[in-house]
Amino acid sequence: MSTSAAGGDGTETPSSLQSSGVPADRKGAPHRIEVDAVNAKAKRSGYAARVKIHPKRVSGRFRSIKWAVMIATLLIYYVTPWLRWTRPGDAPDQAVLIDFQTQRFYFFFIEIWPQEFYYITGLLILAAFGLFLINSVAGRIWCGYMCPQTVWTDLFIYVERFVEGDRNARLRLDKAPLSASKFIKRFIKHAVWLAIAVSTGGAWIFYFADAPTLARELVVLEAPVTAYFSMGIFTFTTYLLGGFAREQVCIYMCPWPRIQGAMFDEDSMAISYRDYRGESRGPHKAGTGWEGRGDCIDCRQCVAACPMGIDIRDGFQLECIQCALCIDACDAIMAKVGRPRGLIDYESEANLERLAKGEPRQSHILRPRTLLYAALIIGVAALMSLTLFTRSTLDANLIRDRNPVFVRLSDGSVRNGFTVRAINKLHETRQLTISITGLEGAIMTRGATHGSPDDLTIVVGPDATKAEKFYVSLPRAALAGTLKGGAANLVFVIQDPVTGQTITEKTSFRGPE
């Protein structure tokens, strides 16, 4: 809504406009009053058109860090699916693989089964706490350096700058009428963007299939439709979000800027403008002194450098992803005019206040909030690694027959049926022996349908599960003494004689009351 509510030449006050509208001396005569429609069309829009941002190139320490992080993260993303990892048996040799077909997640030496999905939950919890910790110590490091949206946007801006030139050249090109050279520049830019987008989507699908095989299939057009489809979606979103949406994603789509508002406290580091040092700002003539004025020469280099299109001197803002490029821009200027660096700097709100009052700055990295986050991270990580490294390669569960609960046999004995489901996480076939204890006189047999009735073993293939039925019967003579209230305790022992691994499963034997 427009803020210029008062209308006309300003001769009338808003309150007189709201009265009858006819001044006393003009009564009876046709006349013209100075009034503006409060809801005029021009004022009605609740929507703002986006103003394109043309970030200016900067160089400096944070820019260098950002380049390094960009190269590192892109390398990790593109190279990871091609890493090989030798695994026994017919398990895939891709180091990181999410295999939907066999429902396994491979991560170097770790293999996760679907029922162990809680490890993924654990990883997500770790990631969340990690983000909280970094945030309360050093601000939005994630947003400024590591978020894919930031990394890819940076890459796309780099391409844009390479093809079309820096900020001023781009502004000019935008305004210029379409010409052959403009067309060629735009064409090259979009072509490179699309190439990056395709390879982004292309790399993604390699995480879900054997990368070399899939790459070959992709080229000869034999890959599954879903591969092309996912690639297409990723290509489109990368192109859209990196090339066009950019800061709009951070400002309007991403929940993290809102969440991190709650994570911040006065001791959190943030990109801050030292207003106590910078104000009052104004242009500075070379050779004149600095007394009675601030260090800020109002050159607006910080604004030109900002990929989010804000002025950091307005203070802490939701839009600021804390990429620190304005620090680099300002430091370069301060060096030029011979003032100390850090007029814009990583600084906490509390320190800004202290420094403004002339007190020394204090570092409060260790505070209850950060200690709590750190403790939680260590706790969750320790718990996860403990369970991960002590988890067994053999698992079994036991399901007793419920319909019927027990069967009376011709010699008067009572029989119960149990299904033993063995899970073999080794990549080799294993033969497990099944036995029972804890129930005097009980005999275990195997149904006659497959194999021999006395074969009390389960052969379970590599990296597989196998369920087999076993029968336990209690002779008539033993019944009365053993079954209390129609039930007695029974223990199954599932053992791998080779490794010595043993699993005991408690259950109960049921019979007539």
Partner 1 sequence: MTDEIKSKDAASGSGGMETTGHVWDGIEELNTPLPRWWLWTLYACIIWAVGYMIVMPAVPFPTSDGWDYTKGLAGYSQRDVVRGEVAKSEASRAIFENRIASADLAEIRNDEDLLAVSLAGGAAAFGDNCAPCHGSGAQGFTGFPNLNDDDWIWGGSLDDIYQTIAHGIRWEEDDDTRYSEMPKFGVDEILEPADISDVVQFVLSLSASEHNAEQAVRGAVVFEDQCSACHGESGQGDRTMGAPNLNDALWLYGGDEAAITQTVTQARYGVMPAWQGRLGDATVKELALYVHALGGGE
List interacting residues with partner 1 (CB under 8 A).
Answer: 1, 3, 5-6, 14, 38-39, 45-50, 248, 252, 401-404, 407-412, 415, 417, 447-450, 469, 471, 476
The residue (of 6 and 72) whose beta carbon lies closer to partner 1 is 6
Using a 10 angstrom Cβ sphere, with 0-12 exposed, 13-18 middle and 19 or more buried, the burial of residue 97 is buried
Min dist. Cβ of residue 43 to partner 1 (A): 9
The residue (of 481 and 512) whose beta carbon lies closer to partner 1 is 512
The residue (of 388 and 467) whose beta carbon lies closer to partner 1 is 467
Tell me if residue 208 falls in helix, strand or coil.
Answer: helix
CB-based contact 478:472 (threshold 8 Å): no
User: What amino acid is encoded at 215 in this protein?
Assistant: A
The residue (of 50 and 421) whose beta carbon lies closer to partner 1 is 50
Tell me if residue 36 falls in helix, strand or coil.
Answer: coil
Min dist. Cβ of residue 3 to partner 1 (A): 6
- Opening angle at CA 461, ends 458 and 467, nearest 5: 45
Element (H, E) at 173: helix 167-175
What does the alpha-carbon distance between residue 385 and residue 382 come to, in Å, rounded to a whole number? 5
The residue (of 56 and 415) whose beta carbon lies closer to partner 1 is 415
The residue (of 4 and 363) whose beta carbon lies closer to partner 1 is 4
Q: Which residue has the tokens 């259950």?
A: 507
Beta strands in 315-409 (DSSP E): 344-348, 394-400, 407-408
Tokens of 282: 């104004």
Min dist. Cβ of residue 482 to partner 1 (A): 17
Which residues in 56-88 are b (16+ Cβ under 10 Å) and which e? bebebebbeebeebbeebbeebeebbeeeeebe
Edge to edge, what strands does the sheet with 110-112 contain?
96-99, 104-107, 110-112
Which residues in 335-373 are b (16+ Cβ under 10 Å) and which e? eeeebebbbbbbbbbebbeeeeeeeeeeeeeeeebbeeb
CB-based contact 346:138 (threshold 8 Å): yes
Which among 129, 152, 124, 153 is positioned nearest to 53, based on CA atoms? 153
Pairing of strands 269-273, 344-348: antiparallel
The residue (of 50 and 427) whose beta carbon lies closer to partner 1 is 50
The residue (of 47 and 109) whose beta carbon lies closer to partner 1 is 47
The residue (of 130 and 309) whose beta carbon lies closer to partner 1 is 309
Which among 73, 70, 79, 237 is positioned nearest to 159, based on CA atoms? 70
Min dist. Cβ of residue 448 to partner 1 (A): 5
The residue (of 11 and 449) whose beta carbon lies closer to partner 1 is 449
Min dist. Cβ of residue 409 to partner 1 (A): 5
CB-based contact 389:493 (threshold 8 Å): no
The residue (of 331 and 468) whose beta carbon lies closer to partner 1 is 468
Measured between alpha carbons, how far is residue 70 from residues 147, 298, 302 in Å? 10, 31, 22
- Opening angle at CA 184, ends 180 and 186, nearest 5: 115
The residue (of 301 and 413) whose beta carbon lies closer to partner 1 is 413
